[in-house]
A and B are shown apart, each in its own frame.
Chain A
């Protein structure tokens, strides 16, 4: 099993009022799975994704990644864990505006301290793989929304992660571009075996996943994780 959660909970304090964003979530995500997490706005989808990445601290429950218990990790341990095992694709693309497409893709490699030539080679390969080999030196503002999301996908794969966390990856794209990005994610999942956990409120996008989880009001209402 790649990732397991037991009774995962997250409670916020907002203006003195306690809000349960996640309530006793139990999940099991297999290696090479493509899981689509669906649910209405405010249902806790993004909170689940942030908690699994260590970007939010759970207030209850356990998280296991392969043979590691993660819930007690320090900030530095979470940083190393994210760097070694996770890739991210965000709705807002999360590209650094003053870095070229290639430099954005090399960011995870730069953090790892790999050498310049190796970084460039890897970034070029990934950009070619997502169909942007000829746009490597372009800044994000010189690329279309779909192209920017492709750069973000290439960056997510730079460190060969076991799991890519995608938060509404098609949220800012028109339907045609959204289909392209979903096709790309699916092919990467199939070809490289990288597991994907994709949060989306779009039923069309959710159909790209091999497995589905539906969340409402912080509760998993469909946790079968059966192949779609």
Chain B
């Protein structure tokens, strides 16, 4: 037996009083783990929602108006397609995909339409309706957080269109309806014959009136050279918050770079608020948990005054007494940290979907942190009681009758 063994025996002997010591630390850790899990789930949920909007950064010529994000490319002046290369070579972090576009209003077979040229190997099948049309292609590599590869969450996976030939087009729902065209039909646009590859379902947006064709075919058709009217960029929300837009402006100084500012700022504010709440709770837990543990330990050392006197009488130095009591605090911290992690995770994963509308997942990486935090709080809270216990007058034990 060693003094740690003595601490363990004492813990087993006074299990009922141990419960009160454990409750404070377990609840504290449970709250921290719970809030942190909800924060991460919330960030993830907002990221999914934001991503469902597709491209979230738009690069336009300097003179373009951006009153409506989704129609800003229509009738916009043009700028060189070479800007795409500039963006690619500048290796900006957080750029998932780049889609150049050329847009013009034209009459096709007597019907006014919005003609949009896209590059099939970079145009993102970002809009939910597009993905339902079977426009499957290569998966976009997810570069957010510096991790390459497909997104683990299938809702966040993106495909690029690689099925649109230079003599093909995709028709929006309204455009197809007004032209009375179906898949496989032929359309003549400015003297160029195009086969309808796909007819999109109704989206309720300007896309319903669009005719999408190959960008380079459109440039040749209009005779305007390698010009585009907009570049859509899928940027990671995290990097947008860290200044991706201004970095893009630096790379392309004579353009107008805009994001879905409102959505992005709401996301950033929500995340920052949750982060602040997490830190606030952490501070409260440190204070309340430390005081609770200190209070419990003081009660415990008072109860053990006689035992401590016995150990001092037998030759234990003050440092050993402090060590003995801190060993108990460490055991409390380990058990409290494990229980708190389990409780916090269990509560938010069970209650998350119903009460918060969030699918909250366990954060395994927080298990070690929870134990470490609980041990730190328990040890800090126990330092003063342990020091005071080491100053107990051992003769009080011997004089007791």
Q: Is A147 an interface residue (CB 8 A)?
A: no
Q: Is B315 an interface residue (CB 8 A)?
A: yes
How far, in Å, is A12 (CB) from chain B's closest CB?
12
Tell me what chain B mostly uses at the interface: helix, strand, loop, or mixed.
helix
Q: A76-B318, A79-B316, A108-B315 are in contact. Are A103 and B9 (CB under 8 A)?
A: yes
Complex interface: stretch among A31-39, A92-100, A190-198, A219-227:
A92-100
- The contact string, 1 if C-beta is below 8 Å from chain B, for chain A 114-134, is 001001000000000000000
State whether A88 touches B2 (Cβ < 8 A).
no
Residues of chain B with a CB closer than 8 A to A11's CB: none
Q: Is B224 an interface residue (CB 8 A)?
A: no
How far, in Å, is A157 (CB) from chain B's closest CB?
12
Q: A111-B311, A111-B315 are in contact. Are A46 and B9 (CB under 8 A)?
A: no
Residues of chain B with a CB closer than 8 A to A75's CB: 317-318
Q: A79-B316, A110-B2, A111-B320 are in contact. Are A94 and B397 (CB under 8 A)?
A: yes
What is the interface size of chain B, counting residues whose CB is below 8 A from a CB of the partner? 31
Q: Is B16 an interface residue (CB 8 A)?
A: no
Q: Specify the chain A residue showing the minimal Cβ separation from B314.
A: A108
Q: Is A106 an interface residue (CB 8 A)?
A: yes
Residues of chain B with a CB closer than 8 A to A119's CB: 1
Partner of B12, one of A50, A95, A96, A98: A98
Partner of A116, one of B1, B309, B399: B1
- Bound Cα distance from A103 to B10, whole angstroms: 12
- The contact string, 1 if C-beta is below 8 Å from chain B, for chain A 79-111, is 111111010101110111111000100111011
Residues of chain B with a CB closer than 8 A to A16's CB: none
Tell me what chain A mostly uses at the interface: helix, strand, loop, or mixed.
helix
Residues of chain B with a CB closer than 8 A to A82's CB: 313-315
- Bound Cα distance from A86 to B394, whole angstroms: 15
How far, in Å, is B16 (CB) from chain A's closest CB?
13
How far, in Å, is A87 (CB) from chain B's closest CB?
9
Q: Specify the chain A residue showing the minimal Cβ separation from B393.
A: A55
Q: With contacts A91-B401, A106-B1 known, what are 10 further pairs, Cβ within 8 A?
A: A49-B398, A55-B394, A79-B317, A82-B313, A88-B313, A94-B313, A98-B10, A98-B14, A110-B2, A111-B315
Which 5 residue pairs spanning A and B have beta carbons closest together? A83-B315, A98-B13, A55-B395, A82-B315, A79-B317
What are 25 A-B pairs with beta-carbon distances under 8 A? Answer: A50-B395, A53-B313, A55-B312, A55-B395, A79-B312, A79-B317, A80-B315, A82-B315, A83-B314, A83-B315, A84-B315, A88-B313, A88-B314, A91-B401, A94-B306, A94-B310, A97-B307, A98-B9, A98-B10, A103-B1, A107-B314, A110-B1, A111-B315, A167-B398, A171-B401
